[in-house]
A = this chain, B = another copy of it.
Amino acid sequence: MANTSSTHDVKVLGAWPSPFVIRARIALNIKSVEYEFLAETPGSKSQLLLQSNPVHKKIPVLIHRGKPIAESLIIVQYIDEVWSSGPSILPSDPYDRAIARFWAAYVDDKFFPSMSLIKSEQGEKKAALVKQVTEGLVLLEEAFQKSSKGKAFFGGDRIGYLDVAFGSMLGWLRATEKMGEVKLLDEAKTPGLVQWAESFCADGAVKGLIPETEKLVEFAKLLAARMKGRGSS
């Protein structure tokens, strides 16, 4: 497939704060695919979103030649498979692919849900969550050491699937550290990941996509205020 798709061939429905949307955008950048970014308004869902993802009504949605694809990791794999002439996102070895998929699922099923709760919790509950998250990060550090084999990324020399899946979370990780006044990524416990985080955010495909910590903190406050205004959502 030649890289001649017009910008309108590829649309991403999303919003700047969402780490899941960030995944889709990084993947398209890796493949040098131009796309139209259609930003959803916070607090409402566009007609296009409701039509394109009627089952979950959630972002991101990738619309390629009019056909919608939903669920961020499914989108990333789709991008990898369609634009197959670009740099590969998943590793080629089946076992390495399984490991990358395993940890990406871990980020979604365990890491992100626990991390998201930290900013709104206090005392013992908060401490328990922080412990859970930091233990998870130690597991990811071990995975990083095995996977990177001394290189900069989980994917080796270049950003790969697990880099995208986990790295997309870095904005919120830092915002959580700030809002919760906790240290999650730690030089002592997760030195590899500390280094990796820097390399990831500096990568050409990622630059500008991970929102600044300040902006996310502001956004979190806005969300919290809106939730309060609605009573129990």
Q: A residues near B, CB below 8 A?
A: 54-55, 63-64, 66-71, 73-78, 80-82, 93-98, 100-102, 104-106, 138-139
Say whether A55 contacts B105, CB under 8 Å: yes
Say whether A105 contacts B70, CB under 8 Å: yes
Say whether A77 contacts B94, CB under 8 Å: yes
Known: A106-B54, A139-B54. A94 touches B70 (CB 8 A): no
Say whether B93 contacts A76, CB under 8 Å: no
**Residue from A68, A82, A101, A105 having most chain B Cβ neighbours under 10 A:** A101
Say whether A69 contacts B102, CB under 8 Å: yes
Known: A55-B138, A106-B54. A73 touches B98 (CB 8 A): yes
Say whether A82 contacts B78, CB under 8 Å: no
- Indicate which residue in B68, B75, B81, B94 contacts A78 across the interface (CB closer than 8 Å): B94
Say whether A94 contacts B74, CB under 8 Å: no
Chain B neighbourhood of A96, CB < 8 A: 77-78, 81
| A105: nearest chain-B partner, CB-CB | B70
Say whether B55 contacts A76, CB under 8 Å: no
| A73: nearest chain-B partner, CB-CB | B101
Say whether B66 contacts A78, CB under 8 Å: no
Say whether B81 contacts A67, CB under 8 Å: no
Known: A54-B139, A55-B138, A138-B55. A80 touches B102 (CB 8 A): no
| Shortest Cβ gap from A89 to chain B (Å) | 10
| Shortest Cβ gap from A31 to chain B (Å) | 13
Chain B neighbourhood of A94, CB < 8 A: 64, 67, 69, 77-78, 80-81
